[in-house]
C-alpha cells in the first residue's frame, strides 16, 4: 500500500527553509505592511518591531 501523498503549500515550504531570524524578519515586515492603514504611526510600529526583536535576540547574546 502506497503512503498517502501530502500536498505542500509553497508558502509553508518557503518559511520552513528560512532561519528563525529570517522568519522573524519576514513576519515583522508583513506586520508592518498590515498596520500601515491604521491610526498607529510608523514610529509606534517601528518601536514595537524593535521591542520584539530585542526580546527575540536577547537570549542569543
For the chain, the domains span 22-58
Torsion of CA 35, 40, 45, 51, to 10 degrees: -120
Per-residue pLDDT of the chain in tens (61 residues, 90 and over written 9): 666 777 767 666 677 788 888 888 888 888 878 877 888 887 887 888 888 888 877 766 5
pLDDT at 61: 56
pLDDT at 52: 83
Model pTM score: 0.51
Grid coordinates given for 55: 526580546
Amino acid at each position: 500500500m502506497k503512503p498517502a501523498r501530502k500536498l505542500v503549500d509553497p508558502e509553508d515550504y518557503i518559511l520552513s527553509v528560512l532561519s528563525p531570524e529570517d522568519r522573524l524578519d519576514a513576519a515583522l515586515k508583513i506586520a508592518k505592511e498590515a498596520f500601515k492603514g491604521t491610526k498607529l504611526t510608523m514610529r509606534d510600529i517601528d518601536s514595537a518591531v524593535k521591542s520584539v526583536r530585542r526580546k527575540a535576540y536577547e537570549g542569543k547574546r
